[in-house]
Chains A and B, each alone.
Chain A
Amino acid sequence: MQRITIDPITRLEGHGKIEIFLDDAGNVANTYFQIPELRGFERFCVGRPVEELPLLTNRICGVCPEAHHMAGAKAADAVYHVDIPRTAKMLRELLYSAFYVTDHTTHFYALAGPDFVMGPDAPVAERNILGVIHKVGLEIGGKVIQCRKYGHTVVEMIGGRKVHPCTSIPGGLTKGITEEQRKEIEEMGKWAIEFAQFSLKLFSDVVLGNKAYVDLILGDVYTHQTYYMGMVDENNHTNFYDGKVRVVGPDGKEFVKYSPKDYAEHIAEHVEPWTYLKFPYLKKVGWKGFVDGKDSGVYCATPLSRLNAADGMATPRAQEEYDKMYKTLGGKPVHQRLATHWARLIELLYAAERWVELATNPEITSPNFHTIPTEKPTEGVGIVEAPRGTLTHHYWTDERGVVTKVNLIVGTTNNYAPISMSINKAARSLIKQGTVVTEGLLNMVEMAFRAYDPCFGCATHSLPGQMPLEVTIHDADGNPIKVLKQFCE
């Protein structure tokens, strides 16, 4: 069988490769999205003191260590059965909101933006952050740098460091913030709200104002009907830091809403022998393979999923944008995966509004940021929404608080099956008998996984404007029959 190998997948965190098999007629027989790495956190965290886990699990991902730090901190709080002071909860959520602004900005401008602002078929030389800047003005690069700078300043003020924060401990935090810091955080937050609105306007003008892009978003190539997962507060509004996990079906109706401690009743993970990563699915529906629909346990956990799973946003401006999106796309739930980019910007606005909300709460500067745990440590679960999906940390310890067992279900992992399905569908739709496999076509296969933001982009780095790519197509005997190159020297 003919085989197209893309190795490594680029512009995402971690490693991955795609194998595309073509039958004799030249149609796609099957695709495999393989994850080639395993480091072993669930094993080597055993034997460590539980207060170290928010620090060790930071190193699962240096792009979203804040997410692991928070999930780990909440799990460690649960292990000690301690309620943290309100100020500590607010400070953690404030750090987290600022982080969300930074992270969603980075993804949109460097990863997603080029595909939309320039167009998926645009010349490769323009289909990157530079092209975006030329099209919309040099100011953009400066704004994106500014946004990242502000976000990481808040992370460092509350979390101690810009990457791999260190201040969350069982019972709260090791420090609070001063009034001076609070003022600075508030000012930066207000700027972030404006930047978020600017980004949404950009999306509206450049993407929604262009019929070709709208057709792409609404088209079938990138559409899947699966279950959708997201954390919600007591009003069923999206919350990134705390709440219950809600899952809605492909029809948009609530399927289940569970407390963090009950996750194992609802989520199970499937193993395949050709990849290191596992495939989470809804236990009560069952694993039926890589298929859509109500009877398949495959679920999705992305910004679009969160908005599908919620009844609305907790802040006013974000709520307006939420209503606008669902009105434009024909109601809830939205199944078109490219709409995730839009949902991500709505979340960006919500995170910025929440940033200011928390920064202007008078309790945020209270010196009461830690409660000493008094109960014996045993076992606990902590769940937050990572930008890339619902993140679950589960720790067991002995009576000294030394970890005896760990279970983690990480953000992007939730989406391993949906991403595989999206790549498969895009490849099948785009590569058919007689199709000439071009660079633009390969980019459109890549767009299938890029919508999920499998990791990060580079906010301000001036990309060289070229997407060096080489594709080799072999015949059944393994002889290369065609080599396509772009920008490979």
Chain B
Amino acid sequence: MSAKPKFAMYWAASCGGCEIAVLNIHEKILDVDANFDVVFWPVAMDAKYKDVEAMEDGSILLTLWNGGIRNDENEHIAHLLRKKSKILVAFGSCACEGCIPGLANLTSTKEIFETYYETVSTENPEHIRPQPSYTMPEGEIRIPKLYPVLRTLDQVVDVDYYMPGCPPESHQIGAVIDLVVQVLQGKAELPPKGATIGADKSTVCDDCPRKRNVKTIKEFGRIQLTHADPELCLLEQGIPCNGPATRQGCGAKCPTAGAQCIGCYGPAEGVIDYGARLISAFASVIDAEKPEDIDRILDGLVDPAGQFYRFNLAGSLLRAGKSAWQGK
């Protein structure tokens, strides 16, 4: 029986990128192994749900949860792991604010089913839809039920810490592991509950190497329809970059590589609604005063809700579009 504290990592409605980001700490993974006993990590080892159920409440010291709450299995395991864990971290954008699967909140589960089971390559003449429970000749078999709206982890259980990013950058994960090891050794204190860890407080613009001037946008463009100046702020060139509202911590990798920031690190410190802040920022720098000129410039943003809430819809104030709530 190991004396090392227990560690778990679990994924709900997610993609596995957070797991890979953890692996990309390379040699530091040995620090995790040296200091923890990994008791549940479905991607990497074979503990099952039954094993978690058999554990004592609070016996897992640290659980990293990535993924949003899409169905009743996700919710069930969220409550289970909350019970069994001392510290539960909402790890990555999906758990913190919904991330890309949260874009489903702009449509509805009904439309998702209608689309997926009737695509151009799908042969489904009887319009079969999956059933939560189905009786086969041998017995009844079940699959989880979807909820109408995708939720963040803290909309379902109490969360201790938030680690933003899609995925959190590996150097940040490494820094957090260093901190955790220091805490275990009694050399450091845990941050206050509810804190955001593995990121800084300001925005991506602070880390972006591009030159910035006063912005007066006369037109929004599309990145593929221009050869952007590699040294100048992208937003200034009319390419919709989310840097001004996105939390600092990733090192501004995307704008450095020539691509606009798409907002995967979530809101800066103290911000309740990411999209609202970005709306404010974009509106502030549009160079127009007459309504018709404003509209002409805004027509260049072909998908405002997607632009402003790409990663952050489920965790926003409105959380989802009307059709999602109504399941239509």
Given A8-B48, A268-B121, check contact A34 B20 (CB 8 Å).
Answer: no
What are the residues of chain B within 8 A of A43 when measuring CB–CB?
104, 107, 111-112, 114-116
What are the residues of chain A within 8 A of B55 when measuring CB–CB?
489
Whether the Cβ atoms of A273 and B134 lie closer than 8 Å is yes
Whether the Cβ atoms of B42 and A287 lie closer than 8 Å is no
| Assembled-state Cα–Cα distance A171/B225 (Å) | 9
| Assembled-state Cα–Cα distance A319/B228 (Å) | 43
| Assembled-state Cα–Cα distance A459/B99 (Å) | 26
What are the residues of chain A within 8 A of B119 when measuring CB–CB?
42, 269, 407
What are the residues of chain A within 8 A of B170 when measuring CB–CB?
162
Whether the Cβ atoms of B33 and A470 lie closer than 8 Å is no
The residue that B224 contacts in the complex, of A51, A60, A148, with Cβ under 8 A, is: A51
CB under 8 Å from chain B, chain A span 27-41: 29-30, 32, 34-40
How many residues of chain A are within 8 Å of chain B by beta carbon?
108
Say yes or no: is A373 at the interface (Cβ < 8 Å to chain B): yes
What are the residues of chain B within 8 A of A174 when measuring CB–CB?
223, 228, 257-259
CB under 8 Å from chain B, chain A span 240-266: 263-264
| Shortest distance from the beta carbon of A18 to any chain B beta carbon, whole Å | 10
Query: Which secondary structure dominates where chain A touches chain B?
Result: loop
What are the residues of chain A within 8 A of B258 when measuring CB–CB?
160, 167, 173-175
Say yes or no: is B193 at the interface (Cβ < 8 Å to chain A): no
Kindly specify which of B80-88, B141-149, B201-209, B266-274 makes contact with the partner chain: B141-149
| Assembled-state Cα–Cα distance A49/B222 (Å) | 9
CB-CB nearest in chain B for A68: B15
Whether the Cβ atoms of B24 and A148 lie closer than 8 Å is yes
Say yes or no: is A462 at the interface (Cβ < 8 Å to chain B): yes
The residue that A44 contacts in the complex, of B27, B107, B141, with Cβ under 8 A, is: B107
Whether the Cβ atoms of A407 and B15 lie closer than 8 Å is no
What are the residues of chain B within 8 A of A275 when measuring CB–CB?
130, 143
Given A264-B120, A457-B44, check contact A489 B54 (CB 8 Å).
Answer: yes
What are the residues of chain B within 8 A of A110 when measuring CB–CB?
44
Whether the Cβ atoms of B49 and A467 lie closer than 8 Å is no
| Shortest distance from the beta carbon of A193 to any chain B beta carbon, whole Å | 21
Whether the Cβ atoms of B222 and A401 lie closer than 8 Å is yes
> What residues make up the interface of B, taking CB atoms closer than 8 Å to A?
1, 13-21, 23-24, 26-27, 29-30, 32-33, 37-39, 42-51, 54-55, 70-71, 73, 99-101, 103-104, 106-107, 109, 111-112, 114-117, 119-124, 128-131, 134, 136-139, 141, 143-144, 146, 166-167, 170, 222-228, 230, 253-254, 256-259, 262, 264, 302-303, 306, 310
What are the residues of chain A within 8 A of B136 when measuring CB–CB?
30, 32, 274
CB-CB nearest in chain B for A470: B50
What are the residues of chain A within 8 A of B167 when measuring CB–CB?
62, 163-164
CB under 8 Å from chain B, chain A span 143-166: 145, 148-149, 152, 156, 159-164, 166
What are the residues of chain B within 8 A of A283 when measuring CB–CB?
123
Whether the Cβ atoms of A169 and B71 lie closer than 8 Å is no
| Assembled-state Cα–Cα distance A368/B73 (Å) | 49
What are the residues of chain A within 8 A of B70 when measuring CB–CB?
37-39
| Assembled-state Cα–Cα distance A62/B49 (Å) | 23
What are the residues of chain B within 8 A of A455 when measuring CB–CB?
16, 43
> What residues make up the interface of A, taking CB atoms closer than 8 Å to B?
1, 3, 6-8, 10-15, 19, 21, 29-30, 32, 34-40, 42-49, 51-52, 55-56, 58-63, 65, 76, 80, 106, 110, 128, 145, 148-149, 152, 156, 159-164, 166-167, 169-171, 173-175, 263-264, 267-276, 278, 280, 283, 287, 370, 372-373, 394, 400-402, 405, 407, 409, 455-464, 467-470, 488-489
Show 22 residue pairs from A and B whose CB-CB distance is below 8 angstroms, ordered by the A residue. A15-B42, A37-B71, A37-B144, A39-B104, A40-B116, A44-B103, A44-B104, A56-B100, A59-B101, A62-B19, A62-B21, A63-B17, A164-B17, A175-B230, A268-B123, A269-B119, A273-B128, A273-B129, A274-B141, A278-B116, A409-B121, A489-B54
Whether the Cβ atoms of B223 and A169 lie closer than 8 Å is yes
| Assembled-state Cα–Cα distance A402/B289 (Å) | 28
Max count, chain B CB within 10 A of own CB: residue among A49, A163, A267, A400: A163
Whether the Cβ atoms of B166 and A59 lie closer than 8 Å is yes
Given A271-B124, A456-B16, check contact A1 B138 (CB 8 Å).
Answer: yes
What are the residues of chain A within 8 A of B44 when measuring CB–CB?
10-11, 110, 457-458, 461, 463
Whether the Cβ atoms of B225 and A373 lie closer than 8 Å is yes
What are the residues of chain A within 8 A of B146 when measuring CB–CB?
38
Whether the Cβ atoms of B48 and A13 lie closer than 8 Å is no
Given A49-B302, A276-B143, A461-B33, check contact A269 B48 (CB 8 Å).
Answer: no
Whether the Cβ atoms of B122 and A464 lie closer than 8 Å is no
CB-CB nearest in chain A for B105: A44
| Shortest distance from the beta carbon of B210 to any chain A beta carbon, whole Å | 13
Whether the Cβ atoms of B15 and A268 lie closer than 8 Å is no
Task: List the 7 closest pairs (A to B, CB-CB), nearest first.
Answer: A62-B17, A174-B258, A160-B257, A40-B112, A21-B138, A458-B44, A59-B100
| Shortest distance from the beta carbon of A364 to any chain B beta carbon, whole Å | 17
Given A36-B73, A61-B16, A268-B123, check contact A274 B131 (CB 8 Å).
Answer: yes
| Assembled-state Cα–Cα distance A405/B1 (Å) | 54
The residue that A63 contacts in the complex, of B16, B129, B130, with Cβ under 8 A, is: B16
CB-CB nearest in chain A for B258: A174
Additional pairs, 19, CB under 8 Å, beyond known A46-B107, A110-B44, A269-B121: A7-B49, A14-B16, A21-B138, A37-B71, A38-B146, A43-B112, A56-B103, A63-B17, A160-B257, A166-B262, A269-B119, A276-B130, A278-B122, A402-B303, A456-B43, A461-B23, A462-B33, A488-B47, A489-B51
Whether the Cβ atoms of B123 and A52 lie closer than 8 Å is no
What are the residues of chain A within 8 A of B120 when measuring CB–CB?
264, 394, 405, 407
Whether the Cβ atoms of B139 and A37 lie closer than 8 Å is no
Given A32-B141, A59-B101, check contact A149 B26 (CB 8 Å).
Answer: yes
| Shortest distance from the beta carbon of B315 to any chain A beta carbon, whole Å | 16
CB-CB nearest in chain B for A111: B44
| Assembled-state Cα–Cα distance A147/B310 (Å) | 33
| Assembled-state Cα–Cα distance A249/B116 (Å) | 29
| Assembled-state Cα–Cα distance A32/B71 (Å) | 21
Whether the Cβ atoms of A458 and B253 lie closer than 8 Å is no
Whether the Cβ atoms of A464 and B38 lie closer than 8 Å is yes
What are the residues of chain B within 8 A of A489 when measuring CB–CB?
1, 51, 54-55
The residue that A467 contacts in the complex, of B43, B46, B257, with Cβ under 8 A, is: B46
| Assembled-state Cα–Cα distance A434/B24 (Å) | 46
What are the residues of chain A within 8 A of B141 when measuring CB–CB?
19, 32, 34, 274
Whether the Cβ atoms of A164 and B122 lie closer than 8 Å is no
Whether the Cβ atoms of A400 and B302 lie closer than 8 Å is yes
CB-CB nearest in chain B for A19: B141
Whether the Cβ atoms of A170 and B99 lie closer than 8 Å is no
Whether the Cβ atoms of A372 and B116 lie closer than 8 Å is no
Whether the Cβ atoms of B45 and A161 lie closer than 8 Å is no
Whether the Cβ atoms of A166 and B257 lie closer than 8 Å is yes
The residue that A7 contacts in the complex, of B16, B19, B48, B71, with Cβ under 8 A, is: B48
CB-CB nearest in chain B for A486: B46
CB-CB nearest in chain A for B99: A59
What are the residues of chain A within 8 A of B222 when measuring CB–CB?
49, 51, 401
| Assembled-state Cα–Cα distance A11/B24 (Å) | 18
CB-CB nearest in chain B for A59: B100
| Shortest distance from the beta carbon of A378 to any chain B beta carbon, whole Å | 15
